[in-house]
Amino acid sequence: MAASLLVELNTEELPPKALKALSDAFAAGIEKGLRARGFLAEGSRATAFGAPRRLAVHLTQVAARSPDAPFRQKLVPVSVGLDAQGNATPALLKKLSALGANVDHRQLVREHDGKQEVLVYAGVKPGIALAEGLQQALDEAIEWLPIPKVMNYQLADGTTTVQFVRPAHRLVALHGDAVVPVRALGLAAGRETFGHRFHSAGPIAIRDADAYAAQLEQQGKVIASFEARRARIAELVVAAARRHDAQPVMPEALLDEVTALVEWPVVYASEFEAEFLAVPPECLILTMQQNQRYFALRDAAGRLLNRFLLVSHLEASDGGAAIIAGNARVVRARLADAKFFFDQDRKRTLESRLPLLASVIYHAKLGSQLERVERLTGIAVEIAKHLGVDRTHVERAARLAKADLRTEMVGEFPELQGIMGRYYAQHDGEPADVATAIEEHYRPRFADDALPSTPVGICVALADKLEALVGLFGIGEKPTGDKDPFALRRHAIGVLRMLIEKRLPLAIDALLAIATQAFNGIKAFKPASAEITAFLYDRLRGLLREQGYSANEVESVVAPQPARIDDIVERLAAVRAFMQLPEAESLAAANKRIGNILKKSAGAAKTVDPALLFEPAEKALAAAFAQAAPRAQAQFAAGNFAEALRELAPLKLPVDQFFDDVMVNVDDARLRANRLALLAQLREQMNRVADLSLLAAG
């Protein structure tokens, strides 16, 4: 009989940052194991549960026994398995023994596999009981859990040592309302679990698999589902903030971590002294989030309030007065530390901290952070020259960009690098765009992050990322597979996004040359511009595909490796518009054909000699091209890429006629070279916007 199945491991508090992954893996592992063994119906559904002290999974439509399964096993050729008298050879007996098959060789089936006659062992494998199948699936699921750090602990017998993420105390396994007799981590399965550590007394006997979540919530004061508990916390936090006319600062990572810390969420509001608001809000928010897992509050104007929300697992009878007061005391000490760091840091200028960067190693082969700053500054100034940006401000911002690494606040909270640099630069009286650039030169820090907002910030941000790409590639520290310890993929995407979205008229090869020059004299460095160029264009392909362009559209504009990419979006739009023309498919195919002819042919003339145009079709093509090319070139020069391609549409008929009537590779060398020159000019004009041959079908 099919019924629902519940499996739960009751443990000590699990590591909060790993709980969701452990929960999902535990559920997926058991589901996979049971499905592979035939216990689950096609419509069977798995629900993962993950709470601070439990991992569990609920599965619907689980059979009590797996179905019998027919099987066929090819053994050995007849000539190998049977001797001249038709008796089993040692080779066949060994094969059967290895399979655990107790069968008379005369019961084996003979089949021809296309090459020779072979012996086949065919039969029906009987199903197994759920207890056996679940035991195997449970063992596999536990073995493959993504445990960040394994603990060793002893069982109650004092002699048996178990390895797991945290000590496990109870195992529940119910098929319907019946206990499934499996074992794990030295525990025998039963139906009893524990509820909330403080709001529940004694063990809870789960009636049946389907009653688990509701019974645990009602009797045990535990919301077992990670998703349901997370949604409940978000709802409570938003409601509590609204009562204070505020908006909560609720990042996803914090919400996930708090969800992994509490079983029965209760939200309380507390506060701290208003004097702490003199500290930059980023410092206060990070202090509350990282040290205490609090949700900071902002008013309608976005200003930080001296109030915060905390999520507790205790529903206090007095309204939480002691909890609120206790957390106020704790946060006061934390914020006092932040204020101390901020006050101490402002006693020294950023510029005075520059020499301290000499003792901070950037990379063993590339020197200190101070040496890096020198390279970064040189690159940024060169970029500023090309863009016409104030070089004095760019140089100042680049030189101070990393100085906050030697401040107390950034030492405590590395996430604030750049942010604190801006505050300290403002305190030192630096120009506004210099202070802003110090913060923004790290942008974009992640996908969809904003780009630097000022020209000075763009110059320094480009320099920062180019210095990292060129330097680290130059010493062999390039990304491999899914490993990218220096975030070079992110740096590359940052460079590409700035060039495209800020419409920067900068050539990629020129930028790499500027950055490469900055590494002169470093022994371990070897220029790797070709590798970096390929790396950048590969990232560009991915970036454009994410924006919804097809593989062919992207390849047509990226494969030629355009030196500048500030107009690549317009090129893609032109390609998409071109492909809507009725002539597009034919012209793309012709372009591909021309490319193949030119690859295989040599001796094309540099210019077309009208006197050597012999066939009417080639004369017609030359005339049509002479008429269309100037118009297309004028549109291209004006940046009207779609119009430039549209001007080539009338060439379809003369091109088709040319290939129908004209032989290109004739014996006459002069005629052949002239025809190749005509095709080369045609292909060059057609491919100014994109390589149209890559749009051809097939």
> What pLDDT, on a 0 to 100 scale, did the predictor assign at position 603?
64
Per-residue DSSP letters for 383-433? HHHHHT--HHHHHHHHHHTTGGGGSHHHHH-GGGTTHHHHHHHHHTT--HH
Band of pLDDT at residue 108, cut at 50, 70 and 90 = confident
Q: What does the DSSP 8-state code read for residue 177?
A: T
> What pLDDT, on a 0 to 100 scale, did the predictor assign at position 24?
97
Question: Which are the contacts of 582, defined by CB distance < 8 A and separation ≥ 6?
Answer: none
For residue 489 the two structure tokens come to 């993929």
For residue 337 the two structure tokens come to 């530390």
Work out the mean pLDDT of the chain and round it to a whole number.
Answer: 94
> What pLDDT, on a 0 to 100 scale, did the predictor assign at position 18?
96
**84-107 pLDDT tens trace:** 888 889 888 888 777 766 777 777
Taking only Cα atoms into account, the Rg of the chain, rounded to an integer number of angstroms, comes to 35
Mean pLDDT of 253-280: 96
Coil, strand or helix at 454: coil
Band of pLDDT at residue 604, cut at 50, 70 and 90 = low
> What pLDDT, on a 0 to 100 scale, did the predictor assign at position 112?
84
For residue 320 the two structure tokens come to 């939480």
Handedness of CA 192, 193, 197, 198 (dihedral sign): negative
**470-519 pLDDT tens trace:** 999 999 999 988 899 999 999 999 999 999 999 999 999 999 999 999 99
Domain boundaries, the chain: 3-66+129-220, 69-125, 226-345, 351-536, 568-695
The third-level CATH classification (topology) of the domain covering 351-536 is Hypothetical protein af1432 (1.10.3210)
For residue 596, the number of C-alpha atoms closer than 13 Å in the C-beta half-sphere is: 9
Higher pLDDT, 102 or 238: 238
Of the given ranges (33-47, 55-69, 78-92, 185-199), which has the lowest mean pLDDT? 78-92
**553-590 pLDDT tens trace:** 999 999 999 999 999 999 999 999 999 999 999 999 99
Residue 356 has pLDDT above 70, yes or no: yes
Tell me what percent of the residues of the chain surpass a pLDDT of 90. Answer: 84
AA identity, residue 22: L
Residue 599 has pLDDT above 90, yes or no: no
AA identity, residue 274: A
Q: Residue 578 and residue 556: Cα distance in Å, rounded? A: 12
Mean pLDDT of 673-691: 92
AA identity, residue 433: D
Tell me what percent of the residues of the chain surpass a pLDDT of 70. Answer: 99
Residue 383 has pLDDT above 70, yes or no: yes
User: For the domain bounded by 568-695, which CATH number is listed?
Assistant: 1.10.730.10
Question: Which are the contacts of 222, defined by CB distance < 8 A and separation ≥ 6?
Answer: 51, 54, 195, 196, 200, 216, 263, 264
pTM: 0.83
> What pLDDT, on a 0 to 100 scale, did the predictor assign at position 614?
86
**278-311 pLDDT tens trace:** 999 999 999 999 999 999 999 999 999 999 999 9
Please choose, from the candidates 614, 615, 596, the residue with its C-alpha nearest in 3D space to the C-alpha of residue 660: 615
> What pLDDT, on a 0 to 100 scale, did the predictor assign at position 87?
87
Of the given ranges (119-123, 253-257, 275-279, 640-644), which has the lowest mean pLDDT? 119-123
**164-223 pLDDT tens trace:** 999 999 999 999 999 999 999 999 999 999 999 999 988 999 999 999 999 999 999 999
